[in-house]
Amino acid sequence: MKGSNEPVFWSLFGAGGVLSALIGPVLILITGIAVPLGFLLPEDTLSHANVLAFVQHPLGKLALLTVIALFLFHGCHRMLHSLHDLGFRTGTRAAFGFYGFATLGTVMTALLLLIW
């Protein structure tokens, strides 16, 4: 019986979907509406010093890596299967390209967070 790597990608897709459904709107509310308009949070919430302190903390790095990686895998999996649903041929090369892009983005994010 031949093993499949599809469950791994479906689980990353599911985790990214849950994260983008629950955390994505909150991120948009905070970074795009609340802080720039000055309500709910102080204006210096997203100051350079505060953001730098968040990014330099190990838990902040882990949070950023998790959000970016799962958003990337969710988006790439969705695009790959949307192309398939639209009738485009999506074989191994397309899957390699999409998942390779998500993996490369995750690795680059991890490297940047490690050297920062």
Q: Which residue ranges form the domains of the chain, and what is each CATH number?
A: 8-115 (1.20.1300.10)
Question: Which tokens hold the place of 91?
Answer: 């074989």
Tell me the whole-structure pTM to 2 decimals: 0.83
Question: Which tokens hold the place of 90?
Answer: 């999506």
Per-residue confidence (pLDDT) for residue 116, from 0 to 100: 80
Give 10-residue mean pLDDT values along the chain (116 residues). Answer: 77 88 90 87 88 95 95 92 91 93 97 93
